[in-house]
Chain A
Amino acid sequence: KAGVTQTPRYLIKTRGQQVTLSCSPISGHRSVSWYQQTPGQGLQFLFEYFSETQRNKGNFPGRFSGRQFSNSRSEMNVSTLELGDSALYLCASRRDRGSRNTIYFGEGSWLTVV
C-alpha cells in the first residue's frame, strides 16, 4: 500500500511569505504528526492531529499551525517566514493514538527561506 505522501518535496520562499505543506497518511491511519529537522536542533516535534483535532503541540511559535481533514489528510502552515524556518519538514502517520503502533514517515518537504 502507498506510504505517507508529502507535497511539495522542495520549495523556496522569501522571508515574510507563508507556506502550506500537505501530507496524506497511509490509508487507514488516523493520527498525523509533523516534525521539523534542522542541522542545529535535530528532529523536533511540531504537532499531532487525530480526528481533525490538534492533540499535542511542540514548543514552536504560533506562526506554525496545522489542520487535519475528515479523510485524515493534514496540512501545516508557516506564516511570516523567517530564515530560521529553513528545514526539512517531515510528516508521520500511525494507525491510531495508541503508543504501541509503528510510526511511518514521509519523504519530507525541503523548505528554503531566502
Chain B
Amino acid sequence: GIQVEQSPPDLILQEGANSTLRCNFSDSVNNLQWFHQNPWGQLINLFYIPSGTKQNGRLSATTVATERYSLLYISSSQTTDSGVYFCAVESGGSNYKLTFGKGTLLTVNP
C-alpha cells in the first residue's frame, strides 16, 4: 500500500515563529488532507489539497503531486497551534481509506 512519511517528527518553536511541515507519499493520490489533532483527540480538518496551493489565515499548504510531497506552512505561530499535525492520503487503489503519516508534534512556547 501507499506509504506516508512526515517530517520532522517533533518541532519546538517560540511564539511568533514560522514553520514548515512536510509530507512525502509513495504513490499518486486522489485525496490528501492535513489535520490538526487537538488535546481532546479530535482531528480538525485543515486542508483538502490533493494538488495546488491553498491558504487559510496563518496556515497555507502546497501539494506537488508530480513530486509526491505536500507542505504545510504555519506563520506567526501561537500557543494554540500546539498539537499533532497529520497528513493523510488516499490513492486510487486504496478503496476510499485514508493512510496517515505518523504526525509532527508541534510545541509552541510563549
- CA of A110 to CA of B39, assembled, Å: 13
- CA of A102 to CA of B45, assembled, Å: 8
Q: Tell me whether B96 and A42 are in contact (CB under 8 A).
A: no
Interface residue tally for chain B (C-beta within 8 Å): 24
Q: Tell me whether B31 and A100 are in contact (CB under 8 A).
A: yes
Q: Is B60 among interface residues, defined by CB-CB distance under 8 A?
A: no
Q: Tell me whether A43 and B100 are in contact (CB under 8 A).
A: yes
Across-interface contacts of A106 in B (CB, < 8 A): 42
Total contacts A to B, CB within 8 angstroms? 62
Please encode chain B, from 38 to 77, with 1 for each CB lying within 8 Å of some chain A CB and 0 for all others: 0011111100101000000000000000000000000000
- CA of A56 to CA of B91, assembled, Å: 14
Which chain A residues numbered 61 to 109 have a C-beta less than 8 Å away from chain B? 88, 90, 92, 97, 99-108
Q: Is B30 among interface residues, defined by CB-CB distance under 8 A?
A: yes
- CA of A72 to CA of B92, assembled, Å: 24
Q: Tell me whether A107 and B45 are in contact (CB under 8 A).
A: no
Q: Is A33 among interface residues, defined by CB-CB distance under 8 A?
A: yes
Given A100-B30, A100-B31, A102-B48, CB of A107 within 8 Å of CB of B41: yes
Q: Is B90 among interface residues, defined by CB-CB distance under 8 A?
A: yes
Closest partner residue, chain A, to B29 (CB atom) = A99
Top 9 nearest A-B pairs (CB, nearest first) are A99-B30, A105-B43, A43-B100, A45-B97, A102-B48, A108-B41, A107-B42, A56-B95, A99-B31
Q: Tell me whether A33 and B45 are in contact (CB under 8 A).
A: no
Q: Tell me whether B35 and A105 are in contact (CB under 8 A).
A: yes
Please encode chain A, from 33 to 60, with 1 for each CB lying within 8 Å of some chain B CB and 0 for all others: 1010100001101001000000110100
